[in-house]
Chains A and B, each alone.
Chain A
């Protein structure tokens, strides 16, 4: 259906945005007890306020109901009575004013309290999710895209806010509906019943209408998220788009998406608007009934004229609550689907937590030991098998091995990003599961391969962990890694603002900053995942120099890719398929003529990209 094609009419191998963004369900069941119960826990803190709001809603509804009644009294009691009474009219007018004043107060209260409470519940839920995400296991974060989490943190909580807000007002609508029916029947039950006979017709129409309309509304939402996804993708990849001159093709593809979006919204609008004349016709019919039947009753003398007028007022208001109540149904469906996603996040187990009474790791000696460690991410697929080794305090150990040999897992375990399946990881002689995570974090510092920096100044980034570190400390750290020079060349030096993902710095400079950050954190044990190649030789020379300073008096476990680093280590542990294959230093390992010697002879810059053949074959 795409209009984009080449001279011979073939479509391109191209899309903008991706259909899989849509697989998140938008509507769920209208009622999900589990979701409502969980949601209630977030509403509870606002229970008192919401009760007050509910009371305000009731009062508001009652005043709405009272107004036609006052008019009725005025007509029948003051104007058309046998003895027309000016003073009764005055009293009724004053009553009207009083009711209106109460109506104002109740209206203001219900709107602000509900609006604010719903807003606060939204912020609370977002905070709860965000706080939970700070603690959940990293394996969950590994598999989940940031974009998806963001849509939960923003879109889904909004749906729940809307649900809370409309629920309270829906109760008001319900009361208004019941109130109007009651008043009509009390005023004159025969006329009341006749007038209400149009209601079943409305329900019948809506039952036929709803499923079709919902499909149209759903499609409209889907196409919106498709078009937004396509826009986001093109913004994120704009450099590639321009570099590859894809603007023209992309624009046409985007146009297709946007046009489909337009069409589906217009279709949804047709469905929504068809209800307008339906409701108007039924209202007209109800009024017609009042005019004919009510009029005749007045003629008979069996109905007061004021009652007929009151009926007219009620009928004009009557369909509003029915309309909003049927709309409430899809709000609920949306909320249930969103709620499930929100609580799904909140239910991700936090499997790494402090034991009750976990000790602080204070006077640890800086040794790291793996005792018979077996670990994996998926059941039945261990990544590390019975790994044992010990790094003495102050020693530098290089971990080497091909991709998938378990180096990164080993490093993650030292910091207890995950818990082992069996065996134990010991830092300073203590099992990492017995000490508090906070103290572990102060003892072990990590430098990750990908130098992730946050928006903010250079200063803030370097003292990321030690937020109260002084400027001098920060500068000292920057000097140690040789970052001071380029920082001073930035427009505002240490107060220069880093752009998103620090894109105003080169990869090498970002790496240097992440080193400085580790230095300021000043931990006894340093776990370092060496960048495969992002650091150029200059920076690397500085880093090698800085590392020597940094490692002095520290224990270091380094995932090493560069021979320089590997050769500089006190000891080398060679991992293969999750097991320790060899241990020794550069010379002794070469002499052993095993895996390390083979890797070395391959002349690889890093051991990561080795193929199975390389590993198994002799040279």
Chain B
């Protein structure tokens, strides 16, 4: 990936080399100026005016050079820091896009299993971890290594023994850094897990606060919180211990090396092997290293965090969506909406976890017709609907539209042709019109109003102070369950799909409003294939065919009249509902037009 930032690297790397070389020049100039001053002193007591002026001139040049070198070093450091950060930010940007794209493509099966909070945490914290790894980890390591390499060649050439001593702390720091990295990596892994757990505990508690209150379970909830929180705190303490123990040990090693230089260097000065200026250069060079050595701890921490973060990210990025388009699949155009299930089997999960939920489902429904599906909870009604737009793939048999297997066409065209109105509506924090036009953001006003009129929502929206611009969703005005469902109906109706499937999506809408919706949709449904899953029989008893599902199998089928005549489960259900609530015993005339 870094190859894509070739030109940035082409600037950053030479800039780093130049900056490090310039940095090494500074102790050299300092040493030189010390030698000049000292040499003059040692040169003889009768200070001749000429040599004094000469020395002064040298000092002046050295001072000017120092300023120039320091400024240049600053400029080159700016260059490499900026380019380095730009690389880090650009990689973060690309990772973010890749991650977003992947999550949008991973199917329902994946999202069923992974906690959304966890996915959000990965997208926020782990991308940031990788970025800071490049910025604080990789780049600083390069700087440190270059500084050491260039500095040590100078020091070793000046005085080999002293140079070795000055660098003697490096292997120790390297060793501690490796140990710390391994330990920190393990701790970070655990800590990240604990923190997501804590987040989940808090999020659930706050979301379910009414239940907590209703059961007076505050103490129980506090205990849950404390368990999660204490576990995280212990790890956080451990992390701090490991990190700072090693940081201070590395600094200690560095300072001890300095003491050695002072001792041996001092002896060499006394022995006349090196000058005071050279000793100063040694020590000044080491002083420059103090900040980077202190940063090693931070670098190690960033690397440890990033390697776990990177792992967590690539875990997702490497997943292949289970629902895949065939290469070169044609799109499904101008469909006649002839939907057929041929001996469809389906199960969730794989291997030992596998659980079959649908057995040998077959039916055909065409344009202008309605298929109704009823059955007890968990019988697989919703699952049938989720298979039509390929949210999941069948495990046996096949589903066709106009005789063409849905696995043979592009996903987008399939999902344009077949829309499921979901049971749990999700609203986005945005204007109502954006929500209605979610599937076609370029829909004009008239189409939007047409869709909301069909869903019996137009009048209500117009009454709102901001009308279609009113903000809904998590941060917007709250809508009742029925209104949310009607909004999702409007959202689907707007697309005029060839096949529309209602997943109990009028459950929270009252019967009278539901009737009006059906009447409004009457004309549209002539041109559509409709599948309805509902608990309320009045929602689907007008259907051309009704399937009665139990434990994933069709146990009764037929139209309303013939099912009643069978006196089976459907008949029981009908009796039950009618005795409970004497609603709509006779289907009113307004029920969707029957086409046989």
Contact = CB atoms under 8 A, between A and B. Distances in A.
B567 interface: no
Nearest to B85: A269
Interface stretch (A180-188, A227-235, A386-394, A570-578): A227-235
Contact of B240 (A116, A154, A247): A116
Interface residues of A, number: 171
A119 B37 CA distance: 52
6 contacts: A111-B248, A146-B207, A270-B82, A287-B70, A533-B507, A538-B376
A462 to B, nearest CB: 12
Interface string B14-30: 00000000000010011
The prevalent SS among residues of B at the interface is helix
A420 to B, nearest CB: 17
Nearest to B106: A238
B56 interface: yes
Interface string B410-431: 0110011001101110101111
A538 B93 contact: no
Interface string B64-75: 101111110111
Per CB-CB distance, the 10 closest pairs between chain A and chain B, nearest first, are A284-B70, A441-B216, A280-B74, A277-B74, A12-B441, A564-B580, A536-B535, A244-B439, A288-B63, A446-B214
A585 interface: no
B511 interface: yes
Contact of B216 (A130, A437, A452): A437
B509 interface: yes
B324 to A, nearest CB: 14
Interface string B48-79: 00001001100110111011111101110110
B255 interface: yes
Nearest to A451: B211
A238 B111 contact: yes
Contacts of B119: 235
Given A242-B415, A507-B423, A609 B513 contact: yes
B306 interface: no
A243 B389 contact: yes
A258 B206 CA distance: 30
B523 interface: no
Nearest to B260: A93
B78 A273 contact: yes
B422 A243 contact: yes
Contacts of B411: 245
B276 to A, nearest CB: 6
A604 B270 CA distance: 106
B496 interface: no
A47 interface: no
Contacts of A244: 415, 419, 438-439, 491, 495
Interface string A555-568: 00000001110000
B439 A112 contact: no
B240 A119 contact: yes
B210 A448 contact: yes
Contacts of A597: none
A605 interface: yes
Interface string A94-109: 0011001101100110
Interface stretch (A33-41, A203-211, A367-375, A498-506): A498-506
A50 interface: no
B38 A296 contact: no
Contacts of B508: 532-534
Contacts of B283: 71, 309, 313
A536 B267 contact: no
Interface stretch (A84-92, A170-178, A329-337, A472-480): A84-92
A241 interface: yes
B146 interface: no
Nearest to A236: B116
A249 interface: yes
Given A150-B199, A266-B86, A537-B576, A503 B112 contact: yes
A541 to B, nearest CB: 6
B437 A454 contact: no
Q: Tell me the dominant secondary structure on chain A's binding face.
A: helix
Interface in A590-615: 602-606, 608-609
Contacts of B276: 75, 79-80, 305, 309
A309 B480 CA distance: 77
Contacts of B216: 437-438, 440-442, 465
Interface string B388-414: 010100000000000000000001100
B81 interface: yes
Interface centre among B78, B416, B581 (most CB of A within 10 A): B581
B63 A141 contact: no
A79 to B, nearest CB: 5
A119 B241 CA distance: 12
A71 B262 contact: yes
Interface stretch (A120-128, A189-197, A424-432): A120-128
Contact of B255 (A100, A154, A441, A532): A100
Contacts of A237: 426, 428
A134 interface: yes
Nearest to A138: B213
B512 to A, nearest CB: 6
A277 B103 contact: no
A90 B206 contact: no
Contacts of B441: 12-14, 246, 249
Given A232-B120, A503-B112, A603 B59 contact: no
A588 interface: no
A609 B512 CA distance: 9
B510 A608 contact: yes
A305 B39 CA distance: 11
Interface string B519-538: 00000000000000001110
Contact of A604 (B36, B78, B389, B512): B512
B200 interface: yes
A539 B377 contact: yes
Contact of B56 (A10, A247, A296): A296
Contact of B247 (A111, A284, A305, A465): A111
Contact of A486 (B81, B111, B280, B378): B378
A603 B284 contact: no
B172 interface: no
A525 to B, nearest CB: 12
Given A138-B210, A236-B116, A279-B74, A454 B204 contact: yes
A295 B37 contact: yes
Interface string A515-549: 00100010000000000111111111100100000
B78 A86 contact: no
A328 interface: no
B566 interface: no
A78 interface: yes
Interface in B481-497: 481-482, 491, 495
Given A71-B262, A243-B389, A536-B376, A104 B573 contact: no
A488 B290 CA distance: 65
In this complex, the member of B100, B355, B480, B579 whose beta carbon has the largest number of chain A beta carbons within 10 angstroms is B100
A491 B415 contact: no
A133 B512 contact: no
A379 interface: no
Given A108-B245, A141-B206, A464 B266 contact: no
B287 interface: yes
Interface stretch (B176-184, B217-225, B364-372): B217-225
B580 A242 contact: no
Contacts of A538: 376-377, 573
B103 A238 contact: yes
A134 B222 contact: yes
B90 interface: yes
Contacts of A280: 70-71, 73-74, 77
A153 interface: yes
Contacts of B75: 277
B5 interface: no
Contacts of A313: 283-284, 287
B532 to A, nearest CB: 14
